[in-house]
Amino acid sequence: MSRSRFVLLIIVVAELVLIGMRYQENAGFSAPVKSRVNKLERGNRLAVRQMEADLDTHSIDDWVNLGQVYTTFALMPEAEYCFRRAANLGSLTLEQQFKYGICLSRRGKIEKAIRIVLPVANSNNELAVHANQQIGFDYLRLDRRIEAEKYLRKAGADPISELSLARVLIREDRVAEAIRVLDGLITRDPDSMRAHQMRAWAYETPGDTYDEHESHVSYDNSMHASGMIIIHPLSRDWDVETVASMGAAKHMTASSIALQKGEFEKAISEGELALEMIEPLWRPGYAKAMINAHLANDEPVEALGYLSKWLIHDGESTRLWELAGDAFLAMGDQDQAEAAWLRGTRIRASKTVQANAEVCRKLDQLYQTQGNQAQATIFRAWHQYESGKLQWRDNNVRSAIVLFTQASDVLAQEEQVWFYLAESQRALNDRTSARESYEKCLLLNQHHGRAIVGLSLVN
């Protein structure tokens, strides 16, 4: 053997060894994935890259975990690749199989997703309900109503599945069956807004079950209930958990815990880290956390700095003005606090819906401390009205009536106070009082459409 051939042979052997090592490292011929994280915020980008670097290619769990993270961030080809690699390494547990199915479903490979999830649905595993629900939903996405019904029924007493089933039954003109499903749901959860709402739609469907009165009763009930179930399968909770366990959210959770424990400095430093980790993005919730931490730490000026940024990023909100008032009050500037809270009364709160009631309560207190009883009385009444609306919203109609009645003593020229009082009285079948309240509302605004309808219903 010539020297050159000997050298080549050595190289071949070395290459085979390298290939073997890489095969071992990769747990196969294919390399691990490096995902397209360019659209993620800094913290999540770093966390994903770390997961990729730490990946044990021989571990099914690692591939599945990475696949689940990719699924959360909609890096779907990467996610599917991970699940495939996991499946090639050995048998997946039912939970892992379910996650694989979720990935395929979101990727739009719906029929394959159903095949993957089916063994979970047919098992005794605690995920079986969710798997049946998932398959039901996937059949709905394929517009295959018959199969969808079968699996939604198999999901059993699961409110999300039941509401979807009721929708299918109404569309199938099997309204009586739909009403039975919805009545069962309402019996278990009288505050289920969606069940009341769908029951109203069921009764307005033309056919043997058509009943205008029942439809209206259910519609009315839906107006003062707050159980807000929409299609929100388990996998979305998993998304939330995944995101909460990495990047900025980890620091923000630490900040919240520190705040609860009274460790304000730590709450602030963890919050600052969280804000760095969401760069270049922005999250109003994080600003609110920083404002709360600074206010708790007696640093109103710093809190106002975050309030300014929040206002510029996202625009005004009642909660923002409420916190601005708190900050100014902490600084001893009552005039600015009053101005901020008054601005808060001019707009409606949404997520932090109690903010409207709170700014009125704070104005009441402020005016009391200033000895301005007239203004204090007015804002106490507004606080009662706003609190009454919250009680009405949450199906506490009796409490609402008490508060609206108190408010109406002072705010007799406000049509909305009379309208909500009338609606509450009608909900409790007090037709005489309701009639009077509707009439007072209509005296103030003869074109109040909902009061006109309400009055017609009690007359």
Partner 1 sequence: MCASDDIQTAVDISEVVIADSSDRLHRPRVLTVLLFSLCGLLAVTWGMMGVEPALNSEIPILTRHPDVHWSQISVPVKKHIPAEFSELLQVNNVPFDAAIASHEIRITNVQVIDIDGDGKPEVLVCDASTNTVTAYHYRGTEKIDIQQQLKTNPDALNDVWSNGSVRHKWDQTLIGDKLIAPAHATVVDVDQDGDQDIVVSTLGDLMPSDELIGTVTLFEKVDEGYRRRVLLRDVRRVADVQFGDFDDDGDTDLVVAVFGYARGGVVILENMGDGSYRDKEIITRPGIVHVPVADYDNDGDLDIAAIVTQDEEEVWALENDGQGNFTPRVLFMTDNFDVGGGGLIAADIDQDGLMDLLMSQGDNLEYGHGWPQPYHGVIWLRNLGNWKFESEQIGHLGGAYGTAATDVDGDGDIDVVIVSMSNDYANPRNPSIIWLENDGNKFKRQHLIDTKPTELIAVGCGDVNGDGKIDIVAGQFRIPLSVVEDQPITVWIKE
Binding to partner 1, residues 429-448 (CB under 8 A): 447-448
Q: How many residues bind partner 1 (CB under 8 A)?
A: 101
User: With CB under 8 A as the contact rule, which of the stretches 76-84, 116-124, 268-276, 428-436 interacts with partner 1?
Assistant: 76-84
Interface pick for partner 1 out of 46, 217, 330, 353 (rule CB under 8 A): 353
Closest to partner 1 by CB, 93 vs 276, is 276
Strand partners, 192: 227
Q: Which of residues 16-55 bind partner 1 (CB under 8 A)?
A: 16, 18-19, 22-23, 26, 29-36, 38-41
Q: Is 213 in the site for partner 1 (CB under 8 A)?
A: no
Q: Is 339 in the site for partner 1 (CB under 8 A)?
A: yes
Q: Which of residues 286-315 bind partner 1 (CB under 8 A)?
A: 301, 304-305, 307-309, 311-315
Interface pick for partner 1 out of 46, 282, 330, 399 (rule CB under 8 A): 282
Q: Which of residues 101-120 bind partner 1 (CB under 8 A)?
A: 106-108
CB of 264 to partner 1, least distance (A): 20
Q: Which of residues 229-258 bind partner 1 (CB under 8 A)?
A: 230-232, 236, 239, 243
User: With CB under 8 A as the contact rule, which of the stretches 92-100, 217-225, 264-272, 397-405 interacts with partner 1?
Assistant: 217-225
CB of 98 to partner 1, least distance (A): 17
Q: Which of residues 152-191 bind partner 1 (CB under 8 A)?
A: 164, 167-168, 171
Interface pick for partner 1 out of 63, 98, 100, 137 (rule CB under 8 A): 137
- In our burial notation (b when 16+ CB lie closer than 10 A, e otherwise), range 363-373 reads bbebbeeeeee
Interface pick for partner 1 out of 316, 414, 430, 436 (rule CB under 8 A): 316
Q: Is 366 in the site for partner 1 (CB under 8 A)?
A: no
Closest to partner 1 by CB, 18 vs 157, is 18
Interface pick for partner 1 out of 46, 51, 57, 76 (rule CB under 8 A): 76
